[in-house]
Amino acid sequence: MPLKKIDKSSKPLETKDYKNYNKEKSENFLIEIPKYTFKDIVLANQVKSKIKDIIYFKKNQEKVFNEWGLSSVIHENINKLVVNLYGPPGTGKTMAAHVIANEMKQNLLIVNYSELESKYVGETAKNIEKVFKFAKEKNLIIFFDEADAILSKRVTNMSHSTDVSVNQTRSVLLMLMNDYDGIILFATNFISNFDEAFMRRIQFHIKFELPDQKCRELLWKKYIPEKMPNNVDIHKLSYQYKGISGSDISNAVMNAAFKAARLEEEYVDEKYFFEAIQNIIKSKKENKSSTREIISEKIVTEDYVNSVLKKEER
């Protein structure tokens, strides 16, 4: 397959450019202009390095596949780039998707699987096909957030038409991923739920972890504005409270500020920051300790799924 040339001069389009697209067909696509750059995101150095690997994967395709001859031994679709961003909630996966899109000079097509699902058997797969077609036409990066909903293990003991539909959707997505000449990003908190067939087709897996003390300190500094009067010891905060995410820190700063404002304080006292983050940590612990039902599913082969679908078509 010839290598698809990259248009380095291309720029992300404005959201308004998509406003009336496919209007008569009532298709709803959420397009987002990249909001973040590397300057906006706080990540461990190894994670940033892996993100740069992805960006330069596209930029160096011509050299690696053509000049260095890798295309002679890799015969699958060499134009595609499929990336999985995984790790705990609030660790920067969605922000990283925006950073990648910004560096690639493309907009994001945000895919919410719940909006693609249909009560009619076979319709969900058709909706996914429309997503890929639209993304290709408009040169968009497809971004599946909470991707475990669509990449989860397929149903083995199929007893209902909905089970067949689930497996059909998975099989269609696998084929679309194989053929797509573009960038697909997945983000998930639950990589353990992924079907092995999808794991094999994803070229890059980047693990996002909760920030260490150095990153926590940078995050506290990032989310406490210079204009906000306060007496907080950021080093103390970052050292004392571990196991928290960037979004936890952002929420704690906001909660502390609003409490101080409600009490008509002249500045945000350190105690409000401590109280806010303690409450967040407490709620997270209680959430983890709650009882959850885990449903075990086995993998069904693609051949079996296709045979079932052929019988239905008859």
- Strand locations in 57-176, DSSP E? 81-86, 108-111, 141-144
Q: What is the per-residue pLDDT for 59?
A: 83
Residues 58 and 162 in one domain: yes
**Model-level pTM?**
0.79
Residue 4 lies in a domain: no
Identify the pLDDT of residue 72: 87
Q: From 209, 224, 246, give the residue that closes a domain.
A: 209
DSSP state for residue 162 in the 8-state scheme: H
- Cα distance between residue 85 and residue 112, in whole Å: 16
**For residue 281, is pLDDT > 90?**
yes
Q: Identify whether the C-beta of residue 300 lies closer than 8 Å to the C-beta of residue 167.
A: yes
Q: In what helix (H) or strand (E) does residue 170 lie, and over which residues does it extend?
A: helix 161-179
Handedness of CA 129, 132, 136, 138 (dihedral sign): positive
Q: Are residues 190 and 266 in the same domain?
A: no
Beta bridge partners of 141: 108
SS3 42: coil
Residues 205 and 248 in one domain: no
Give the pLDDT band of residue 150 (cuts 50, 70, 90). Answer: confident
**pLDDT greater than 60 at residue 282:** yes
The reply to whether 142 and 42 lie within a common domain is yes
75 and 124, same domain (yes or no): yes
Place of tokens 């909760």: 210
In this predicted structure, the answer to whether residue 200 has a pLDDT above a threshold of 60 is yes
Question: pLDDT higher for 121 or 90?
Answer: 90
Question: What pLDDT, on the 0 to 100 scale, is given for residue 121?
Answer: 62
> CA 139, 145, 149 angle in degrees (round to 5)?
120
Tokens, residue 237? 């905060």
Tell me how far apart the alpha carbons of residues 207 and 100 are, in angstroms, rounded to a whole number: 15
pLDDT above 70: percentage of residues in the chain: 77
Rounded Cα distance between 153 and 122, Å, is 18
Residues 259, 125 share a domain: no
Distance CA 189, CA 242 (A): 19
Same domain (yes/no): 51, 29 = yes
Residue 115, domain member (yes or no):
yes
Report which of 286, 260, 285 is spatially closest to residue 273, judged by C-alpha positions.
260
10 Å Cβ neighbour count for 60?
14
* CATH number reported for the structural domain that contains residue 200 in this entry: 3.40.50.300
Number of residues that this document lists for the chain = 314
- Please indicate, yes or no, whether residues 65 and 177 belong to a single structural domain of this protein: yes
Q: What is the radius of gyration, based on Cα positions, of the chain?
A: 23
> Tokens at residue 14, please?
């404005």
Express each pLDDT in 85-98 by its tens digit: 999 999 999 999 99
Q: SS3 of 84, please?
A: strand
Is 263 among the domain residues?
A: yes
Q: What pLDDT was estimated at residue 119?
A: 59
Regarding whether 264 and 219 lie in a shared domain, the answer is yes
CATH code of the domain containing 248: 1.10.8.60
Cα 311 to Cα 314: distance, rounded to the nearest angstrom: 5
Point out the domain boundary residue: 209, 228, 247: 209
Measured from the Cβ of residue 5, the count of other Cβ atoms closer than 10 Å reads 9
- Structure letter (DSSP) for residue 14: P
Q: In this predicted structure, which of 38-42, 164-168, 186-190, 228-232 has the lowest mean pLDDT?
A: 164-168
Contact 9, 104 (CB under 8 A): no
Residues 278 and 218 in one domain: yes
The span from the CA of 76 to the CA of 199, in Å, is 16
pLDDT at 14 over 60: no
Confidence band (pLDDT; 50, 70, 90) for 74? confident
Q: What's the confidence (pLDDT) of residue 244?
A: 96
If one counts the domains in the chain, the total is: 2
**Residue 229 in domain:** yes
Domain that holds residue 69: 15-209
